[in-house]
Structure 1
Amino acid sequence: MTRWAASWRSTCVRRLLPAVEETAEHTRLWWGAAVILSATGWRGRRAATAGLASMAVAELASNCVLKQVWHRRRPPKEWISHQEVHDRPDSSSFPSGHTAAGVAFSAAVATVWPWAGAVCSVPAVMVATERVHTGAHYPSDVAAGAATGLAATALVHRAPQLVRRLLL
């Protein structure tokens, strides 16, 4: 599956996916989305806050915990037939932190404002696709990143209830 995704030759794919990934680098895409959401009123501010909180938990879980526990090499360079293969990180491949952040942000936004969450999910899927296309991750790394993002969203969504139960 990794070889198949890396072999996509479409000009649109070759231009669009790297641009989306570059924008998502260091979570800039999601911070920008949070700024735009915040400018739309109280619902947008709530959605942005939920998105950023979930993204932070997902980033911590994927980059500071899971990548330290499971070290997995990136897909072999020979599987990737284009130039992006040389621009891969040295960290563990499992799980995809980019995917975890994008899914966490989008899913959390969707819990507050479903329409905005649906809009945010489009670049999140594109980032996940790009991670496999460029050989930075195996599809299973992306799936684990998505699961991490969803778990982070569930945790952040339930956090107020959990805190109330602990305090009572």
Structure 2
Amino acid sequence: MKVLAGLRGHDHRLTRRVAAWDSPAARRLLPAVEEAAAHTKLWWAAAVAMAAGGGWRGRKAAAAGVLAMTVAELLANGVAKQLVERRRPPAEWIPHGDVAERPDSSSFPSGHTAAAVAFTASVAASWPWAGAACAVPTVLVAVERLHSGAHYPSDVVAGAVIGGGAAALVRRAPRLLIRCLR
């Protein structure tokens, strides 16, 4: 129990520190990242671009990314958020104006991060170059979730774990299905 209390304390301190990060670049960039990532618009746009311009490899990467993203969102938003009710970080911890736009749903886990990591990890497995390009906005999405006060760091880490798990599941599902059918 003492370990959990210590982790919670670190989680709260890191939340305050990241949310208080005052940089003109962050104030310009992070709201744009949040807008692009809302409703997975950024990842759908990336999938369309890959499918349209990447040939067979691009279509395969886009399909894997979209499928993994869908699984991650289902697990994060449809299952985990329903099982774990956690309040968002307190508004008074967030010294900038982005606090008013936070959702009412559970803070745990970060569905945005789960979707971003799932999409990027699945794309990287099929097309490493495109996966590397997707990694940059994925990291920015995770940072934005902390900076805006929408999530605690542990929420973002849990979202990343769910996203990685969804990508691994999508990658292995065809082989597992074939084994089961034999």
Identify whether the pair has TM-score above 0.5, normalized to the shorter chain. yes
TM-score when normalising by structure 1: 0.99
1:24 is aligned to: 37
Q: Give the aligned partner of residue 47 of structure 2.
A: 34
**Counterpart in the other structure of 1:151:** 165
Residue identity opposite 2:133 in structure 1: V
Uncovered stretches (5+) of structure 2, i.e. residues with no partner = 1-13
Runs (5+) with no aligned partner, structure 1: none
Aligned to 1:78: 92
Q: Which residue of 2 aligns with 1:52?
A: 66
Match of 1:4 among 14, 17, 26: 17
Of the two, which has the highest radius of gyration? 2
SS in 1 for 2:179: helix
Separation in 2, partners of 1:56, 1:159: 14
Offset at 1:9? 1.1
CA displacement at 1:142 relative to structure 2: 0.2
Task: Give the Cα separation in 1 of the matches to 2:166 and 2:104.
Answer: 25
The match for 1:13 is 26
Question: Aligned pairs, how many?
Answer: 168
Are positions 1:89 and 2:100 aligned together?
Answer: no
Q: Alpha-carbon deviation of 1:21?
A: 0.8
Residues 61-76 of structure 1 correspond to what in structure 2 (within 5 A)? 61-76=75-90
Provide Cα deviations, 1:49-94, integer angstroms capped at 9, x if missing partner: 0000000000000000000000100001110000001110000000
Q: How many percent of aligned residue pairs carry the same amino acid?
A: 65
Q: Secondary structure at the match of 2:71?
A: helix
Question: Counterparts of 2:24 and 2:55 in 1: how far apart (Å)?
Answer: 38
Task: Please give the TM-score of this superposition, normalised by the length of structure 2.
Answer: 0.91
CA separation in 2, counterparts of 1:114 and 1:161?
A: 21
1:120 is the counterpart of 2:120 = no
